[in-house]
Amino acid sequence: MSPEAGAGVGSPEYVSVPAPAESYGAGGGAGALRRIALPHADADAESSSGMAEPGRNHVSGPPDRFEADLGAVALITDRGLVHARNEDAVAAGVGVPAPGRPQVTVVTVCDGVSSSPNPQAASGTASRTGVDACLSALAEGRSAEDAATAGLAAAARAVRDIAAIDGDSPSCTYVAAVVHDDGAGTATITVANVGDSRAYWLVPEDAEHGAHDAVSRRLTLDDSWAQALVDAGAMDETAAMTDPRAHTLLRWLGADYDQQPWSTRSVQTFRFTGPGVLLLCSDGLWNYLPDPVALAAIATAKPAAAAARDLADFAVQCGGGDNITVALVPVGAAGQA
């Protein structure tokens, strides 16, 4: 998150490769679970020069890009070309479906606010805690909307707790999705967001036109100055994004904001029939490519892991001015090998 945007506590161990399956309560509809979080815990160390260098490997020192492919979701986070460290984070949990049950995938993307202290602590804590709380709620048999709200609330508390522990008050954005895929090409998707990290539903160019499911669209609304201008009818989205304050956040997770930072429109549920791909991303991607149709052209052209890599590469090639994080969840044939 760029500086102009608004002013791991209690989490299990995460690894940079898919973890062995862990037991998962039957109430969530899954028999086993794989979890992952990126980047590595030590990936926020700055390069020896403290400045990014152009090229395939953007900086010396820790790796600049972390990738994972869990089949049901592909994840990638990249430092970009400008920032000396990656302040984004992404986490996911994939349930192995029990017979007759839909597959459950939970994924979060968080973007640390650079103007706050230790922003990578906020994003890493929020992403991991959000996934854990969502999965726990699903295992208790709660609805997807309740689980998404529980994940958001737990993430907000965990970020606030950082200030109580070390005195810093880091902050971050948050977008999460709970995906129930019936295995027959239809998925129920519940999204939750605070800030300006986004969720999109993207369909292939050759999908049948006219059907509601066959329209690429943004699923979340930003909590930003630009969106407030649009909501007020003062400007259309294109004009609002040219305002100098466009990226200023109006809501975020952090001790310097409300204990309940979400609004009544933060949690929404959709039902889509594929082929299609759910995209969660930080503004390091959508700043360069906000249009859903343009995103879909890349996101649905290859299997999810390769498409996620292409999206991140696109943002880097456009200048890589911010950290870039992408999560793709394929539904139906799109984005699958």
> pLDDT tens across 114-140, in order?
889 889 999 999 999 999 999 999 999
Quote the pLDDT of residue 332: 87
Please check whether residue 111 lies inside any domain of the structure: yes
- CATH number, domain containing residue 121: 3.60.40.10
Is the pTM higher than 0.85? no
Contacts of 255 (CB under 8 A, 6+ apart): 159, 160, 162, 163, 164, 169, 171
Residue-level pLDDT, tens digit, the chain, 337 residues: 644 333 322 233 323 333 333 333 333 333 578 899 999 654 443 322 223 333 333 333 346 899 999 999 999 999 999 999 999 999 999 987 777 778 899 999 999 998 898 899 999 999 999 999 999 999 999 999 999 999 999 999 999 999 877 777 899 999 999 999 998 899 999 999 999 999 999 999 876 555 556 799 999 999 888 877 887 888 888 888 877 887 788 888 998 877 788 888 899 999 999 999 999 999 999 999 999 999 999 999 999 999 999 999 999 999 999 999 999 999 986 656 4
- Spell out the alpha helix ranges (H) of the chain: 119-139, 144-166, 225-231, 237-240, 283-286, 292-299, 304-317
113: containing domain: 22-220+251-331
CB–CB of 107/132 below 8 Å? no
Quote the pLDDT of residue 45: 35
C-alpha distances (whole Å) from 216 to each of 23, 142, 331 are 36, 29, 13
Distance CA 81, CA 71 (A): 29
Q: Strand order of the sheet with strand 198-202? A: 65-69, 74-78, 324-331, 276-281, 198-202, 217-218
Quote the pLDDT of residue 236: 82
Please check whether residue 100 lies inside any domain of the structure: yes
Contacts of 99 (CB under 8 A, 6+ apart): none
Q: What is the CA radius of gyration of the chain?
A: 18
Please check whether residue 235 lies inside any domain of the structure: no
**Bridge partners (DSSP) listed for residue 183:** none
Please check whether residue 17 lies inside any domain of the structure: no
Counted domains in the chain: 1
Please check whether residue 225 lies inside any domain of the structure: no
| Run of H or E residues at 93 | strand 88-97
Long-range contacts formed by 257-262: CB under 8 A, 24+ apart:
257/171, 259/156, 259/157, 259/160, 260/153, 260/156, 261/156, 261/194, 262/149, 262/152, 262/156, 262/192, 262/194
Please check whether residue 140 lies inside any domain of the structure: yes
